[in-house]
Amino acid sequence: DDIKEFEVYAKDKGTGVYVESNSYEVPSDATLEVEDVTDDVSKKFDKEMYKVYSAYDIDVVKMADGGFVKTIENGIDVYLPVNGRKVGEEMAVYHITDNGKGDEYKGVVVEVEGKQYVKFTTTHFSTYAVIEDTLEVPNTFDGVGYSIIALLVSIITLGGCILYKKKFN
């Protein structure tokens, strides 16, 4: 008999992080090891500019030999718990390096069994964090901005009319 479907699903009860894949690169006897490193990762970022929602060091260990699964070429879906977000909302998930933010992954908020998660796909296990930029860029084109632009356009138009009248008189 040929195996028609293959799915590996693992959830860390302590953190709520879970992963799933249909890749044969993940041994069926593998276990998920997750450490909540939110406090450590938060210290790497300016609190005025970034909000670190959560950060986890994620590993998959092969039970047969105790080695780590390093990469999954076909990708593996990772679900990081979040609260109070809108289902379908996009959130940035970053690979955390020694220097701070590494690669960015596009995550989307999903609901599974009544709980919210940011779901993203990666090809390797490491430390990942849900981080949001909190520095708001001021809107320079509010009512005052539009008034200034309208005034400048009026002055330029009036100046053009005066030059045109002087030239042809």
Confidence of residue 3 (pLDDT cuts 50, 70, 90): very low
Mapped onto helix, strand or coil, the DSSP state of residue 156 is helix
Token pair recorded at residue 2: 């040929």
Global pTM exceeds 0.85: no
Q: What are phi and psi of 66, to 5 degrees?
A: 75, 5
Token pair recorded at residue 82: 């979040």
Confidence of residue 115 (pLDDT cuts 50, 70, 90): very high
Asked whether the predicted pLDDT for residue 8 surpasses 70, the reply is yes
Q: Any idea what the Cα angle at residue 108 is, between residues 107 and 112, rounded to 5°? A: 120
**DSSP H helical ranges for 57-141:** none
Do the Cβ atoms of 89 and 96 come closer than 8 Å?
Answer: no
Do the Cβ atoms of 52 and 42 come closer than 8 Å?
Answer: yes
From residue 99, give the alpha-carbon distance in Å to each of 45, 79, 142.
Answer: 10, 24, 37
In this predicted model, which residue has the larger pLDDT, 127 or 163? 127
Amino acid at 136: E
